[in-house]
Amino acid sequence: MNLLIYISDFIVPFIILSIVIYGLLSGINVYDTFIQGARSGFLTVIRLMPTLIGLMAATGILRASGFLDLLADFIGQFSSLAGFPGELVPLTIVRMFSSSAATGLLLDIYENYGTDSRIGLIASVSMCCTETIFYTMSVYFMTAGIRKSRYTLAGALIATFAGLAASVLLVSG
């Protein structure tokens, strides 16, 4: 175990040093390339900022208005029949939009039910098995300039439901 800790302390500096050495041996101006990449990354962040602000505002409005709780109560009646606790429906819905808001809900679940409870465990596993679909689609598609998403949303929703089913099966099994 100590060997893994020792290796993990040096892996990031080793990778950075390897990239710099490779660049120097290849005759690439490493510093200028780094600056160009940083500038490009900064411009990408500026282009994405309106989308991120809009998603965060929409998530906050859903939570504050009570609509999320109403929707979760309705869906929870059916999801509990399938073995998925209705208490986790708000987490699942918010997770599709915002990871940070979902983390806040996850902490609320931990406080109410405990981390080692069935609900706490399913919530933990489901956070690992699902993705922020709408955030990811908007950010990556906007960055790549993709206008038609075709089957992306349907595939992402199917993958999310598969992840939720896996979380229930893994915790129950």
* DSSP string of 49-102, one letter each residue: HHHHHHHHHHHHHHHHHSHHHHHHHHHHHHHGGGT--GGGHHHHHHHTT-HHHH
Domain-embedded: residue 118: yes
Burial of residue 87, with CB atoms counted within 10 A of its CB: 0-12 exposed, 13-18 middle, 19 or more buried: middle
Range of the domain at 114: 49-172
**Residue 72 included in any domain:** yes
Query: What pLDDT is attached to residue 56?
Result: 76
Residue 79 resides in a domain: yes
The answer to the question of residue 11 being in a domain is: no
In a domain, 38, yes or no: no
* Residue 9 domain flag: no
Q: Could you tell me the pTM of the whole model? A: 0.69
Residue 20 lies in a domain: no
Residue written as tokens 């405990």? Answer: 114
Contacts of 132 (CB under 8 A, 6+ apart): 95, 96, 97, 98, 99, 102
The three-point CA angle 36-41-46 to 5° equals 125
Give the pLDDT band of residue 172 (cuts 50, 70, 90): confident
Band of the pLDDT at 124, cuts 50, 70, 90? very high
Domain count, the chain: 1
For residue 117, is pLDDT > 80?
A: yes
Return all residues near 3 (Cβ < 8 A) that are at least 6 apart: none
Domain membership flag for residue 3? no
pLDDT, average across residues 48-57: 80
Asked if residue 1 has pLDDT above 70, the reply is: no
